[in-house]
Structure 1
Amino acid sequence: MTLLRFDPFRDLERLTEQALTGARGPRAMPMEAFRRDDRFLVALDLPGVDPGDVDVTVERNVVTVRARRAPLRQDGDQLLVDERPQGEFSRQFFLGDNLDTTRLSAEVDRGVLVLGIPVAEASKPRKVEISTSSETAEDEPRIAERASREEPANV
């Protein structure tokens, strides 16, 4: 079962952006992903972001999270220090084919966006019944006939 597929180009894009802009701060949307029973949960930190400024979209197996954080200062305020990331942020990740993207859920609690992605029914383990055939005297002629039609194995 896979939740995330590796995307080397996203990591390369992030490194290039850091090199060109000199941005060395923390990621704007740190993520934690884990499986609990038949669901995968993805938690993204979005402190100070209004839930109305968060957008989650799913296209095929790609989830995109976009968020916007505005500064708290107002016109006329004298800025002394500004270390909080602001502006538009986005994070994309790829889901495995074993997940049901049509039933993805999203919830914000205390600045953490939690996405719940259930495992698709077709991907869940299921028990396969094993049947037994009781060979009686009536079955012996059919078994002998079937064996005579089979070609002998070359040894």
Structure 2
Amino acid sequence: MAMFFDPFREFDRMAEQLFDRQGPRLMPMDLYRDGDHYVLSADLPGIDPGSVDIDVDGQLLTIRAERTARSAEGVKWITRERSTGSFLRQLNLGQGIDTAGISATYDNGVLSVLIPISEKAKPRKIEVQRSVGGAQEVTPELTA
């Protein structure tokens, strides 16, 4: 069996275990706008979907997830690089978001969160009124 040893990777792994063992891990994510909503895609491979918790408090979106260690008694680990524990991500949503319409799905290790833009924040066309001689042009009403 071929073994690959990278001393820097081992140092990073040991530092993570020593200094950040109890704290939440950061989940990598992409965020983009697609029409009238934002799409957040977060990588959470190996996470039980039942452990994912998404909260909105005011304009703060919080995503929490948990990856538990597989208990394997009597095994001798050769390498163990997949982190276990809590994962956390928080985003400030801003004012133009429809927080009541946020939805989420989990598929193939990727959490997708759809964040709709509120109607009042969507772009709209403003009609320009034409004025004649400094006064706004008004169409006369017909009276009988």
TM-score, normalised to structure 1's length?
0.66
Q: What one-letter code is carried by the residue in structure 1 that aligns with 2:89?
A: R
Deviation (angstroms), 1:109: 1.1
Aligned residue among 18, 36, 39 for 1:38: 36
Higher normalized strand content (fraction of residues): 2
Deviation (angstroms), 1:44: 0.6
Given that residues 28 and 85 in structure 1 are in contact (C-alpha distance below 8 angstroms), is that contact kept between their aligned partners in structure 2? Answer: no
Deviation (angstroms), 1:72: 2.6
Q: Which runs of 5+ in 1 are unaligned?
A: 1-17, 140-155
Aligned residue among 112, 115, 132 for 1:114: 112
* Superposition RMSD in Å: 2.3
* 3-state SS of paired residue (2:75): coil
- 1:97 is aligned to 95
CA–CA separation in structure 1 for the residues paired with 2:89 and 2:101 = 20
What is the aligned length? Answer: 115
- 1:145 is aligned to none
Deviating above 2 A after TM superposition, structure 1's stretches of 4 or more consecutive aligned residues are 72-80, 129-135
Deviation (angstroms), 1:99: 1.2
Given that residues 33 and 40 in structure 1 are in contact (C-alpha distance below 8 angstroms), is that contact kept between their aligned partners in structure 2? Answer: yes
CA–CA separation in structure 2 for the residues paired with 1:52 and 1:68 = 9
Q: What one-letter code is carried by the residue in structure 2 that aligns with 1:51?
A: P
Matched-pair identity in %: 41
